[in-house]
A and B are shown apart, each in its own frame.
Chain A
C-alpha cells in the first residue's frame, strides 16, 4: 500500500534525470539550475572542481553565472559579499585554508544579513599541509553565524544546494548558508543520482530573489555595514540568534516541501535504527553511511546498534539528539577533527554532552574518539571498533577512557631518521663558479661565470626523486638559477607544484635548509627567518662567519594570492631573493587560470567552447609591478638562455647580500597543462622569448637593460610561432580567433616597445 502511494505521488512529480555524478558535479548541476547571478571563487582542492565544471558549462552557454576568480579566498569572499549587497544570488566554494583565509569575512556576511551559498568541501587545515578530507575547516565555520547544512552523499549535495538558497533567503532568516560535504569521499566519488530534468522546477521552487535593502537602489539608498557601538552591537547579535530560532522552525518546513517535490526527505537529524538502539555512534557525513552498514551487521548479531548523524549542524539539533538518545546506554561520538586540543573531546562531543545535560533523565554514557584526520580512511572495521567501545561501555556502565584517538601509529622509538645524503660542506658550496664585482665607476655589477660544463660541479640543492611530472620545467629552471648561487642557502617554498612534489612526507628532496609556508605568506616568513638569523648572529648565538642567502621559490599562483605580502616584503627591502617560476596557471590544483595566464589561453577555469574563448584578460606583468617597489634588482630569465639566467642569479645574490630584495621571474614549461610535448619544453620557452612575449631583461638600481634582444639577432618571431607549440593555445590559430590573435600580438608588441624605450632611456 505504501509502495503504491509512493508510486502515485511519484507520477505527479516533475521528471528527474538519473545520472552518475560526483558531489562536486552535483553542486555544479544545482548551481547551473539555480542560475546564480555571481560566483566569486578561488581554487583550492578539493572544492575547485565546482568552479571548473561551471566554467566548462559556461563555455558552452549553459548558464549565465558571472564567474569571478578572486586574487585569493579573501578576495573571493569580498566579491561574494559585494554581490550579495547588490541583491544577487551568490555562490562560492572553498576548503580548508581557503576557508581560513576567508574566515574574517564570514561573520561580516552573517552579521550584516546577506544571504549566499558557500559549498565547504571539507578538508584538513594546514599544517602540515594535507589536501584530504576531514572536518577541521567545518569546525571553524560553525562559529560564524552561518546556517550549516550537511550533505552526506552526492545526491544530498544537489538537494542541499537548492535548499540552502531557499532557507537563507527566507524572510525570517536572511542568512548565508554553508553546504558542507566530505572532500574526496563525497566531492570526487561518483554515485547514481537524480536531478530535475527541467531547471525551471528548481527556479519555481526558489522563486525570485527578494532583498529589502540593496546597495544598488539609488531611489532607496541605505548604508550597509555601519560602525556600531555598544549598546547596539549586542542587539545585532541577538537578532542573529533570533534568526537561528526561526531557522529551527523554518528548515523542517522547507525540507518537507522539497521532499514532496523530489521524494527525498531529509530529517534535521538522520537517525538510523535508533528506535530501540542501546548503543549508537554519532558521525558527520560520509562516515555515518559506512557505520550504517556496520549497524546492520551488528543487528544481525543481536546487538541493538544505531547511528545518528545530522543533516543540519547550525542550528544545532539539540532537541532531536536528546530524543534520539533517550534510551541509549552508550554513545561514541566520532569526530573527524580535533580543534579543542587540551579539552579532551572535540567540538561536537561537547555540544552533544551539553544537549544531554538539559535532559536530567538521560543516562547515556558518552565517549569521544577522533578518527580519519587528514583523509585517513574510515573503514567498516573502524566503525566496528567504535561500536565495540560503546558495547563495552554499555555492558560495564562505566566510561573507561572518555577521549582518545582511533587509528594512530606509535612507531618504534628505537628507530630514528638516518641521513642517506650528507649535508653539503662549505667547500662544496663555495667553488667560485661565479664572480660578481661592482664597477665603482659605473656603479654596475660585472659578472663572470664558469662554462656550462664546469657549472655541473655545483651540487644540486634539490635532489632527484621528486615527484614532478615528466618534463616539468620548474626543476630545470630553478636548478639553472641555483647554479648561479654560491654558498649556503635557506629556501622557502610557497605552496605549489615545486613544494608538493619535493616534500611528500616522510620524503624531502631538499638537501639544504627548507621552509614551507602557505602562499599568501612566504615572503614575510622568509624575511622573519632572515632577520632572526642576523640578529642571532649579532648576539653571538650563531657563528659569525656563516653566510646564508635566503631564497623564496614561488609559482605564479603564489604571486597572485601572495602579491600583497611579497610587495610588503619588497617595500621593506629585506635582503632576500624572490624567485617566481611562472607556468601560467595554478597547475598544482589542476590548471586553473592565474592572473599570469595570457589572454585567450585555455585553462580549466578559462575554457574554450561554443561561447568560451579562453582567458578574458591579459597576463599580469609581475616583473614591472615588483620593479615599481624600487628594489635594487628585478630580472626575467629562462632555462632556454641558461648563461643569461646564471648571471642574473649571481647578481640577485649580490644584491640580496649587500642591498636588499631581488626578484626574478622565470618562465618554465608545464607540458601536462600546456598540452605540449615534454621534450619540447626548452624550445617553447625559447619561442616565448623570441616572440618578445617573455623578454629577457633586468631592472638594476632602477635602470632597465634588455639582456637578450631577438631583433638584434634576427630571431624575432610572431607570437603565433610560440602559440602553435602548445595545445592550450592551438585554438588561437584558427581563423575564427584571428582577432584575438591580433590582440595578443598588439599587447606583446606594446609591452616590448615600452621595454625598449626603458632600455634606451636612463630615466624611464
Chain B
C-alpha cells in the first residue's frame, strides 16, 4: 500500500459521511468507495448506513471509516465527525443539519447547481474546504445516477483515494448484471472528478461544527405510558419537501374544473379544498391549491388530471414552492411553539 491518509482522528481513522435521501444511491456510493479503499488500496475499513424504517425519499446516511491496515477496527458507532462529507441532496440543508460535526479542516462536497459562495452561506461554513458539483445535471446528461458523479467528486476532494481503484469497483459492480451501465457510470465518475469546484474557506482553525445527536422528545417522566402517541396527527408538523427530487406539480386555478380526480390518487394528501360554489352558484367543494410541505413530487396527480394545463409538472424552485404553497388549515402548529 502506497497511499496514506491525509488526516486521522484520535483513534487513527479517517472518516467519511454521505448525507442523502433514500433512492439517490448514497448507500451504494459508500459501499463502492469503501471497497476501493479496502480491497484495492489496502486500507482497513468499515462501511455501513443508518437504518430505520427508511423509505425512498427519507434522510439516510452512509458511513466509511478507514485506517492503516495494521489498526484494529472495533467501533461500530456512526461517523459523527467526518473528515470528508458529501451532501447528495441540497434540500437537506434546509430541513436538517447535514454538515453537523465537521472539523475546521473538513472537506464538504455538495450536489448543487448553485455557487460555492451561496453554499458556504447556506451551510454557515467559514472554515475548511467546500466543493460543489452539479451532479443532477451530469447524471441527466449521462443517463446515470448522481451517486457515481458524487463518487468522482469525493475521490478528488479526498486527495488520497485512487480514482483507478474506484473505477475498478464501478466496473465490477455493474458489469455482471447491468453491463450497459458501466460506461455511462464511468463517464459520470470522470465528470464528477473533473467538474468539481473547490474553494478553501478560512485558515482551517477553529472548532468546526458541533454534531447534535438526536435526542428523544419525551422522557420517562413525561412520555405517556406504553408508547401511546397522545397527540396523533402531529405528523402534520413534519416537512417532507426534501423527499422531492426536483419536480413538483403546479396547479392552475383558472383551468381546474374541481373534478376531484387528483384527490383520489395523491398519496400525501396535499390538495387543499374548501367549501365554495359551483358555476351555477350551488354549494360545492372547490380546490384551492397544493400544500407543498408534504408533496413528494410523485406527479401521479398530473397523470390523473383530465384537464390540460390544470395540473402540470415543473422544475422545482424555492420561489415557486414558497409563492404557491397553500397550507392545510386544520393544523394548529402555534400550539406547540407556544
Q: Which residues of A contact B (CB under 8 A)?
A: 18-20, 22, 46, 127-128, 131-132, 182, 184-186, 188-192, 286, 289-290, 292-293, 377-380, 408-422, 451-457, 459-460, 462-476, 479-480, 483, 497, 500-511, 514, 588, 639, 642, 671-672, 678-683
Write out the residue numbers on chain B whose beta carbons fall within 8 Å of the beta carbon of A678: 298-300
Query: Dominant SS at the B interface?
Result: loop
Task: Give B1-57 interface residues, CB cut-off 8 Å to A.
Answer: 11, 22-23, 31, 34-35, 38-39, 44-49, 51-53, 55-57
Q: Is the CB of B264 within 8 A of A480?
A: yes
Whole-angstrom distance between the Cβ of B188 and the nearest chain A Cβ: 21
User: How many residues belonging to B are interface residues under a CB distance threshold of 8 Å?
Assistant: 90
Q: Which A-chain residue is minimally distant from B235 (CB atoms)?
A: A465
Q: Is the CB of B48 within 8 A of A476?
A: no
Q: With A190-B31, A191-B73 known to touch, is A420 a contact of B300 (CB < 8 Å)?
A: no
Q: Is the CB of B217 within 8 A of A468?
A: no
Q: Is the CB of A471 within 8 A of B300?
A: yes
Most buried by A among B216, B223, B300: B300
Q: In the bound complex, what is the Cα–Cα distance between A454 and B259 (angstroms)?
A: 9
Q: In the bound complex, what is the Cα–Cα distance between A289 and B219 (angstroms)?
A: 29
- 10 further A-B contacts with Cβ under 8 Å, apart from A377-B77, A471-B267, are A128-B226, A289-B76, A292-B72, A412-B221, A422-B330, A462-B269, A463-B269, A465-B236, A466-B235, A681-B300
Write out the residue numbers on chain A whose beta carbons fall within 8 Å of the beta carbon of B179: none
Q: Is the CB of A672 within 8 A of B215?
A: no
Whole-angstrom distance between the Cβ of B238 and the nearest chain A Cβ: 4
Q: In the bound complex, what is the Cα–Cα distance between A758 and B169 (angstroms)?
A: 57
Query: Dominant SS at the A interface?
Result: loop
Contact with A along B263-274 (1 / 0, CB 8 A): 111111111010
Residue from B49, B219, B331 within 8 A of A409 (CB atoms): B219
Q: Which A-chain residue is minimally distant from B239 (CB atoms)?
A: A465
Q: Is the CB of A420 within 8 A of B298?
A: no
Write out the residue numbers on chain A whose beta carbons fall within 8 Å of the beta carbon of B285: 453-454, 456-457
Q: Is the CB of A511 within 8 A of B227?
A: no
Write out the residue numbers on chain B whose beta carbons fall within 8 Å of the beta carbon of A412: 219, 221-222
Q: Is the CB of A411 within 8 A of B220?
A: yes
- Assess whether B260 is interfacial by the CB under 8 Å rule: yes
- Assess whether B190 is interfacial by the CB under 8 Å rule: no
Whole-angstrom distance between the Cβ of B139 and the nearest chain A Cβ: 17
Q: In the bound complex, what is the Cα–Cα distance between A410 and B45 (angstroms)?
A: 37
Q: Which B-chain residue is minimally distant from A645 (CB atoms)?
A: B264
Whole-angstrom distance between the Cβ of A181 and the nearest chain B Cβ: 11
- Assess whether B317 is interfacial by the CB under 8 Å rule: no
Q: Is the CB of B269 within 8 A of A20?
A: no
- Give me 15 A-to-B residue pairs in the complex whose CB atoms sit less than 8 angstroms apart, sorted by A's number: A20-B35, A293-B75, A380-B75, A411-B218, A419-B335, A457-B273, A465-B235, A468-B268, A469-B296, A475-B268, A476-B266, A479-B269, A508-B231, A642-B261, A642-B264
Q: Is the CB of B216 within 8 A of A409?
A: yes
Q: Is the CB of B220 within 8 A of A408?
A: yes
Q: Is the CB of B227 within 8 A of A420?
A: no
Residue from B218, B298, B336 within 8 A of A418 (CB atoms): B336
- Assess whether B191 is interfacial by the CB under 8 Å rule: no
Q: Is the CB of B302 within 8 A of A672?
A: no
Q: In the bound complex, what is the Cα–Cα distance between A190 and B35 (angstroms)?
A: 9
Q: Is the CB of B229 within 8 A of A506?
A: yes
Write out the residue numbers on chain B whose beta carbons fall within 8 Å of the beta carbon of A417: 218, 224, 229-231, 234
Q: Is the CB of A192 within 8 A of B231?
A: no
Q: With A292-B74, A475-B267, A672-B55 known to touch, is A409 a contact of B215 (CB < 8 Å)?
A: yes
- Assess whether B240 is interfacial by the CB under 8 Å rule: yes
Q: In the bound complex, what is the Cα–Cα distance between A94 and B49 (angstroms)?
A: 21
Q: In the bound complex, what is the Cα–Cα distance between A471 and B284 (angstroms)?
A: 28
Q: Is the CB of A131 within 8 A of B53?
A: yes
Residue from B11, B55, B270 within 8 A of A293 (CB atoms): B11
Q: Is the CB of B75 within 8 A of A290?
A: yes
Q: Is the CB of B49 within 8 A of A188?
A: yes
Whole-angstrom distance between the Cβ of B100 and the nearest chain A Cβ: 15
Q: In the bound complex, what is the Cα–Cα distance between A454 and B282 (angstroms)?
A: 12
Q: Which A-chain residue is minimally distant from B287 (CB atoms)?
A: A456
Top 9 A-B pairs ranked by shortest CB distance? A411-B219, A465-B235, A421-B233, A471-B298, A452-B260, A470-B296, A464-B294, A509-B235, A469-B56
Whole-angstrom distance between the Cβ of A718 and the nearest chain B Cβ: 22
Q: With A191-B46, A192-B44, A422-B332 known to touch, is A473 a contact of B232 (CB < 8 Å)?
A: no
Residue from B224, B236, B302 within 8 A of A464 (CB atoms): B236
- Assess whether B126 is interfacial by the CB under 8 Å rule: no
Q: Is the CB of A410 within 8 A of B221?
A: yes
- Assess whether B291 is interfacial by the CB under 8 Å rule: yes
Write out the residue numbers on chain A whose beta carbons fall within 8 Å of the beta carbon of B217: 506
Most buried by A among B58, B75, B287: B75
Q: Is the CB of A476 within 8 A of B270?
A: no
Q: Is the CB of A502 within 8 A of B215?
A: no
Q: With A416-B222, A682-B265 known to touch, is A468 a contact of B55 (CB < 8 Å)?
A: yes
Q: In the bound complex, what is the Cα–Cα distance between A470 and B304 (angstroms)?
A: 16
Q: Is the CB of A420 within 8 A of B219?
A: no
- Assess whether B275 is interfacial by the CB under 8 Å rule: yes
Q: Is the CB of A410 within 8 A of B31?
A: no
Q: In the bound complex, what is the Cα–Cα distance between A32 and B270 (angstroms)?
A: 48
Q: In the bound complex, what is the Cα–Cα distance between A472 and B34 (angstroms)?
A: 32
Q: In the bound complex, what is the Cα–Cα distance between A422 and B332 (angstroms)?
A: 8
Write out the residue numbers on chain B whose beta carbons fall within 8 Å of the beta carbon of A471: 267, 296, 298-300
- Assess whether B244 is interfacial by the CB under 8 Å rule: yes
Q: Is the CB of B46 within 8 A of A190?
A: yes
Q: With A189-B47, A505-B227, A678-B298 known to touch, is A456 a contact of B236 (CB < 8 Å)?
A: no
Write out the residue numbers on chain B whose beta carbons fall within 8 Å of the beta carbon of A463: 233, 235-236, 269
- Assess whether B333 is interfacial by the CB under 8 Å rule: yes
Q: Which B-chain residue is minimally distant from A473 (CB atoms)?
A: B267
Q: Is the CB of A421 within 8 A of B236?
A: yes
Q: In the bound complex, what is the Cα–Cα distance between A408 and B49 (angstroms)?
A: 24
- Assess whether B187 is interfacial by the CB under 8 Å rule: no
Whole-angstrom distance between the Cβ of B15 and the nearest chain A Cβ: 14
Q: Is the CB of A681 within 8 A of B55?
A: no
Q: In the bound complex, what is the Cα–Cα distance between A679 and B262 (angstroms)?
A: 12
Q: Is the CB of B38 within 8 A of A454?
A: no
Q: With A409-B215, A469-B55, A469-B56 known to touch, is A682 a contact of B303 (CB < 8 Å)?
A: yes
Write out the residue numbers on chain A whose beta carbons fall within 8 Å of the beta carbon of B328: 464
Q: In the bound complex, what is the Cα–Cα distance between A696 and B311 (angstroms)?
A: 29
Q: Is the CB of B48 within 8 A of A413?
A: no
Write out the residue numbers on chain B whose beta carbons fall within 8 Å of the beta carbon of A46: 51
Write out the residue numbers on chain A whose beta carbons fall within 8 Å of the beta carbon of B233: 419-421, 463, 508-511
Q: Is the CB of A456 within 8 A of B332?
A: no
Q: In the bound complex, what is the Cα–Cα distance between A410 and B76 (angstroms)?
A: 27
Write out the residue numbers on chain A whose beta carbons fall within 8 Å of the beta carbon of B299: 471, 678-679
- Assess whether B258 is interfacial by the CB under 8 Å rule: yes
Most buried by A among B216, B265, B296: B265
Q: In the bound complex, what is the Cα–Cα distance between A422 and B218 (angstroms)?
A: 21
Q: Is the CB of A286 within 8 A of B76?
A: yes
- Assess whether B78 is interfacial by the CB under 8 Å rule: yes
- Assess whether B140 is interfacial by the CB under 8 Å rule: no
Q: Which A-chain residue is minimally distant from B338 (CB atoms)?
A: A418
Write out the residue numbers on chain A whose beta carbons fall within 8 Å of the beta carbon of B270: 464
Q: Is the CB of B335 within 8 A of A465?
A: no
Q: Which A-chain residue is minimally distant from B169 (CB atoms)?
A: A20
Q: Is the CB of A507 within 8 A of B53?
A: no
- Assess whether B297 is interfacial by the CB under 8 Å rule: yes
Most buried by B among A189, A293, A408, A679: A679
Q: In the bound complex, what is the Cα–Cα distance between A479 and B44 (angstroms)?
A: 50
Q: In the bound complex, what is the Cα–Cα distance between A465 and B235 (angstroms)?
A: 5
Q: Is the CB of B47 within 8 A of A679?
A: no
Q: In the bound complex, what is the Cα–Cα distance between A465 and B216 (angstroms)?
A: 19
Q: Which A-chain residue is minimally distant from B227 (CB atoms)?
A: A128
Residue from B53, B73, B244 within 8 A of A467 (CB atoms): B53
Q: In the bound complex, what is the Cα–Cα distance between A190 and B66 (angstroms)?
A: 12
Q: Which A-chain residue is minimally distant from B38 (CB atoms)?
A: A20
Q: Which B-chain residue is minimally distant from A414 (CB atoms)?
A: B222
Q: Which A-chain residue is minimally distant from B73 (CB atoms)?
A: A191
Q: In the bound complex, what is the Cα–Cα distance between A159 and B300 (angstroms)?
A: 49
